[in-house]
Structure 1
Amino acid sequence: MSIQYKSNAVSTAGVLISLGIIYGDIGTSPLYVMKAILGEAPISETLVYGGISCVFWTLALQTTLKYVVLTLQADNNGEGGIFSLYTLIRRRSPWLIVPAMVGGAALLADGIITPPISVSSAIEGLRLLYPGIPTVPIVLAILTGLFLMQSFGTQVVGKAFGPIMLLWFTMLGSLGAVSLLHHPEILKALHPYYAYNLLVNYPNGFWLLGAVFLCTTGAEAIYSDLGHCGCPNIRLSWAFVKVSLVLNYLGQGAWLMTQQGKQLVGNPFYSLMPDWFLLIGITIATIAAIIASQALLSGSFTLISEAIRLNLWPKVKLVYPTNLKGQLYVPSVNWLLWAGCVGVVLYFRESAQMEAAYGLAITMAMLSTTILMTYYLYVKSRSRILVVSFLVLYLAIELSFLVANLSKFPHGGWVSLLIAGLLLAVMYTWINAFYIKRSFTDYVRLKDYLPALRELSADESVPKYTTHLVFMTSVSSPRDIESKIIYSIFQKRPKRADIYWFVHVETTDEPYTSEYKVSRITDDDIIRIDFKLGFRVEQRINLFFRKVVEELVDNGEVDITSRYSSLSRQHLIGDFRFVVLEKFLSYENDLPFRKRLIMEWYFNLKQFATSESKWFGLDTSSVKVEKVPLVIMPVKLPHLRRVKV
Structure 2
Amino acid sequence: MDAKHPHTAISTAGLLIALGIIYGDIGTSPLYVMKAIVPGKIDPLLVYGGISCVFWTLTLQTTIKYVLLTLNADNNGEGGIFSLYALVRRRGAWLSAVAIIGGSALLADGVITPPISVSSAIEGLEAVYPGIPTVPIVIGIIAALFLMQSFGTQIVGKAFGPIMLIWFSMLAALGVSGILDHPAILKALNPYYAYNLLVNYPGGFWLLGAVFLCTTGAEALYSDLGHCGKGNIRISWIFVKSCLVLNYLGQGGWLIAHQGQQLNGRNPFYELMPGWFLLIGVGIATVAAIIASQALITGSFTLVAEAIRLNMWPKVRLNYPTDVKGQLYVPSMNRLLLLGCIAVVLYFRKSENMEAAYGLAITLTMLMTTLLLTVWLRAKRVPLLAVGLFALVYGAIEGAFLVANLIKFPHGGWVSLAIGAALVGVMYVWLRAFYIKRRLTEFVKIEPYIETLKELSDDESVSKYATHLVFLTSAERQSEIESKIIYSIFQKRPKRADIYWFVHVDTTDEPYTMEYKVAELAQGDVFRITFRLGFRVEQKINLYFRKVIEELVRNKEVDITSRYESLSKQHVTGDFRFVVLEKFLSVENDFPLMEKLVMQAYFYIKQFIASEDKYFGLDTSSVKVEKVPLVISPVRDVALARIQ
TM-score, normalising length: structure 1: 0.96
Task: Decide whether the 8 Å contact of 2:542 with 2:621 is kept in 1.
Answer: no
Partner of 1:57: 56
Partner of 1:244: 243
Amino acid of the residue matched to residue 618 of structure 2?
L
- Tell me, yes or no, if structure 1 residue 74 matches structure 2 residue 76: no
SS of 2:614's equivalent in the other structure is helix
Partner of 2:583: 583
> Cα gap change, 1:286/1:56 in structure 2, threshold over 3 Å: closer, same or farther?
same
> Cα gap change, 1:197/1:319 in structure 2, threshold over 3 Å: closer, same or farther?
same
Task: Decide whether the 8 Å contact of 1:20 with 1:157 is kept in 2.
Answer: no
> Cα gap change, 1:610/1:233 in structure 2, threshold over 3 Å: closer, same or farther?
farther
- Tell me, yes or no, if structure 1 residue 120 matches structure 2 residue 119: yes
Match runs of 1:465-504 below 5 Å: 465-504=465-504
Task: Decide whether the 8 Å contact of 1:29 with 1:215 is kept in 2.
Answer: yes
Amino acid of the residue matched to residue 434 of structure 2?
F
- Tell me, yes or no, if structure 1 residue 349 matches structure 2 residue 349: yes
Partner of 1:510: 510
SS of 1:132's equivalent in the other structure is coil
Amino acid of the residue matched to residue 149 of structure 1?
M
Task: Decide whether the 8 Å contact of 2:103 with 2:303 is kept in 1.
Answer: yes
> Cα gap change, 1:52/1:335 in structure 2, threshold over 3 Å: closer, same or farther?
same
- Tell me, yes or no, if structure 1 residue 634 matches structure 2 residue 634: yes
SS of 2:110's equivalent in the other structure is helix
Whole-angstrom distance in 2 between the partners of 1:52 and 1:165: 23
Amino acid of the residue matched to residue 362 of structure 2?
I
Amino acid of the residue matched to residue 566 of structure 1?
S
Partner of 1:93: 92
Query: Which residues of structure 1 form unaligned runs of 5+?
Result: none
Task: Decide whether the 8 Å contact of 1:521 with 1:527 is kept in 2.
Answer: yes
Match runs of 1:597-636 below 5 Å: 597-636=597-636
Partner of 1:164: 163
Amino acid of the residue matched to residue 179 of structure 1?
G
Whole-angstrom distance in 2 between the partners of 1:501 and 1:289: 51
Q: CA deviation at 1:151?
A: 2.5
Task: Decide whether the 8 Å contact of 1:187 with 1:250 is kept in 2.
Answer: yes
Partner of 1:196: 195
Match runs of 1:304-319 below 5 Å: 304-319=304-319
Partner of 1:540: 540
Whole-angstrom distance in 1 between the partners of 2:602 and 2:535: 22
Partner of 1:522: 522
SS of 2:507's equivalent in the other structure is strand
Q: CA deviation at 1:254?
A: 1.9
Amino acid of the residue matched to residue 498 of structure 1?
D
Task: Decide whether the 8 Å contact of 1:81 with 1:302 is kept in 2.
Answer: no
Once the two structures are superposed, residues 196-241 of structure 1 have per-residue CA deviations (whole angstroms, 9 ceiling, x without a partner) of: 1110111111111011111111111101111222222222221111
Task: Decide whether the 8 Å contact of 1:43 with 1:259 is kept in 2.
Answer: no
What value does the CA root-mean-square deviation take over the aligned residues?
A: 1.7
Amino acid of the residue matched to residue 214 of structure 1?
L
Q: CA deviation at 1:602?
A: 0.8
Once the two structures are superposed, residues 178-213 of structure 1 have per-residue CA deviations (whole angstroms, 9 ceiling, x without a partner) of: 221232222221111111111011111111101111
Q: CA deviation at 1:481?
A: 0.5
SS of 2:468's equivalent in the other structure is strand
Query: Which residues of structure 2 form unaligned runs of 5+?
Result: none
Match runs of 1:413-492 below 5 Å: 413-492=413-492
Task: Decide whether the 8 Å contact of 1:17 with 1:155 is kept in 2.
Answer: no
Task: Decide whether the 8 Å contact of 1:150 with 1:157 is kept in 2.
Answer: no
TM-score, normalising length: structure 2: 0.96
> Cα gap change, 1:369/1:348 in structure 2, threshold over 3 Å: closer, same or farther?
same
Question: Would you identify which runs of 4 or more consecutive aligned residues in structure 1 move more than 4 Å?
Answer: 5-8
Percentage of identical aligned residues: 71
Task: Decide whether the 8 Å contact of 1:68 with 1:235 is kept in 2.
Answer: yes
Partner of 1:254: 253
> Cα gap change, 1:305/1:458 in structure 2, threshold over 3 Å: closer, same or farther?
same
Task: Decide whether the 8 Å contact of 1:149 with 1:157 is kept in 2.
Answer: no
Amino acid of the residue matched to residue 66 of structure 2?
Y
- Tell me, yes or no, if structure 1 residue 12 matches structure 2 residue 18: no
Whole-angstrom distance in 2 between the partners of 1:155 and 1:575: 38
Q: CA deviation at 1:619?
A: 4.9
> Cα gap change, 1:283/1:468 in structure 2, threshold over 3 Å: closer, same or farther?
closer
- Tell me, yes or no, if structure 1 residue 412 matches structure 2 residue 390: no
Whole-angstrom distance in 2 between the partners of 1:267 and 1:137: 21
Whole-angstrom distance in 2 between the partners of 1:255 and 1:271: 8
Match runs of 1:28-427 below 5 Å: 28-44=28-44, 46-265=45-264, 266-427=266-427
Task: Decide whether the 8 Å contact of 2:316 with 2:609 is kept in 1.
Answer: yes
Equivalences, count:
639
Amino acid of the residue matched to residue 487 of structure 2?
Y
